[in-house]
Structure 1
Amino acid sequence: MNIDVSGKTAIISGSTSGIGLAIAKGLAQAGACVVVNGRSQAAVDQAIEAVKQHVPAALVRGVAADLGTAQGCAVLTSAEPRCDILINNLGIYGTQPFFDIDDAEWTRYFEVNIMSGVRLARAYMPTMLEANWGRVVFISSESALNIPADMIHYGFSKTAMLGIARGLAKFAAGTGVTVNSVLPGPTLSEGAAEMLMASAPEGQTLEEAGVAFVKTHRPSSIIQRAATLEEVANMVVYVASPLSSATTGAALRVEGGVVDSI
């Protein structure tokens, strides 16, 4: 199986680290011209360099913009008016008791996790439909189905992504444009690593800390460990490729079997 997206332009929101950066590297390796995004120019420049180190011949550029706002999305779409592959990866998360989540925090999660993807899909899908080819991928989470009691606002936002992606897939019915969601589970991103290692016993490796977390907090996991960034990115790169042409409107799980359903 040869995944080749040469000649395609891919925009990945929130891609200066973690899953987003891994996706950028994967798509660059598959031949795409990659556009990375973050809130600061310094972070964007570092991400561009990271992609080039991974793929020396990569075609990569970046746009610094806060996509959690309408103004930031406008900055990106003005700098990059079209793309063939849109990866809506931007997202925030954090544990917080439900009764402590005020209206402003609910709105922040809605704007960043949901509206960033809505705005970008609205901007980029028309040219995909005109070209009769395109890929839109929403990075959701197993928390969309397995709502964490200590992150209800996060889980809600990821569930909403599934509905938007499914509806957009139907909107693009009969065309060469597909829209899907990818649902990672616990993943060894930089943010997760920081959280895990902060409470890890002395001498415990990151991988061991990931296993301990999964067994304690996601005991239904079948792989019984956290996924790597590359494992998640591999699924996204496939879904973004021409090989996935019969896959649309799907919620594709890369969560190690945490969600206990068939």
Structure 2
Amino acid sequence: MNIDLSGKTALITGSTQGIGFAIAKGLALSGAEVVINGRKQDAVDAAVTQLKHLLPSANVRGIAADAGTAEGCKAMVAALPRVDILVNNVGIYGPQDFFETDDDVWEKFFEVNVMSGVRLSRAYLEGMAKNGWGRVVFISSESALNIPADMIHYGFTKTSNLSISRGLAKRMAGTGVTVNAVLPGPTLSEGLQDMLKDEQQKSGEPIEKVAADFVMANRPTSIIQRAASMEEVANLVVYVVSPQASATTGAALRVDGGVVDSIA
């Protein structure tokens, strides 16, 4: 399968590192003009430089704006009025007991993980429909279905992503625009590597082995019995935004290594 996204402009929020950067790289490899986003200008500049170093022929630029605020989304749209592909990737997470999670935390998670995608989809979807082609992807999580007891506030936002993406897919029916959600499971991102750094140093094991042990201890239903790579997650996103995926919309697509114990 030859995925060709030449002539398409793709915005990936929260893409200076991690899964977002891997998605940006995958889209650039497929010929898309890639727009990297992050809150800080220096991080955006560094990510753009890194991607250009990895792919010298890549058409890539950056926008520094906080997608987790209404003002940041407005600034992003002003700098980039039209896109063909929108990947709502920006997100925050972190364990916290329900009884110790105050309103400010709930509101912060909702603004970043949910409203960022709502605002940007609202800004870009009508333009996609007028062009007769477009792709929107919400990066959800297996935690949307397998709500963590120690991160209820996070799981709630990821379930919200599923509701919004399904509803938007119906709203865009017949326009040539698809809207989907992608659900990663445990992924060997920089965040997970940082979290496991002390354990790795203590054990002397490769980070992949330490991560696999962590997955089996915390997500024992994993079928691949390891953390996915960021590229494995990005590969699914690249397919979902491709012309070849034109009949896939309103879907919750899992790349969770089989963590969610369901056949549906």
Assess same fold via TM > 0.5: yes
Report deviation, 1:53.
1.8
SS at match of 1:112: helix
Query: Which residue in 1 is equivalent to 2:185?
Result: 185
Q: Assess if the C-alpha contact under 8 Å between 1:197 and 1:209 holds in 2.
A: no
1:143 aligns with 2:143: yes
Query: Which residue in 2 is equivalent to 1:257?
Result: 258
Query: Which residue in 1 is equivalent to 2:239?
Result: 238
Q: Assess if the C-alpha contact under 8 Å between 1:144 and 1:158 holds in 2.
A: yes
Query: Which residue in 2 is equivalent to 1:81?
Result: 81
How is 1:65-214 mapped onto 2 (pairs within 5 angstroms)?
65-200=65-200, 201-214=202-215
Give the number of equivalent residue pairs: 262
1:26 and 1:50 map into 2 onto residues whose CA distance is: 14
For 1:20-49, what per-residue CA distance to the aligned partner results, in whole angstroms no more than 9, with x for missing partners? 000000000000000000011100011101
SS at match of 1:136: strand
1:37 aligns with 2:33: no
Query: Which residue in 1 is equivalent to 2:226?
Result: 225
Report deviation, 1:198.
2.7
What is the one-letter code of the residue matched to 2:227? A
Q: Assess if the C-alpha contact under 8 Å between 1:22 and 1:230 holds in 2.
A: yes
SS at match of 1:61: strand
1:127 and 1:198 map into 2 onto residues whose CA distance is: 48
1:4 and 1:210 map into 2 onto residues whose CA distance is: 34
Identity of aligned residues (%): 67
Report deviation, 1:199.
3.1
What is the one-letter code of the residue matched to 1:3? I
How is 1:49-68 mapped onto 2 (pairs within 5 angstroms)?
49-68=49-68
For 1:194-216, what per-residue CA distance to the aligned partner results, in whole angstroms no more than 9, with x for missing partners? 00223333302110111111110
Report deviation, 1:250.
0.3
Structure 1: unaligned runs, 5 residues or longer: none
1:87 and 1:246 map into 2 onto residues whose CA distance is: 18
Structure 2: unaligned runs, 5 residues or longer: none
SS at match of 1:122: helix
1:242 and 1:139 map into 2 onto residues whose CA distance is: 19
Segments ≥4 residues shifted beyond 4 Å: none
Report deviation, 1:54.
2.1
How is 1:9-48 mapped onto 2 (pairs within 5 angstroms)?
9-48=9-48
SS at match of 1:35: strand
What is the one-letter code of the residue matched to 1:45? D
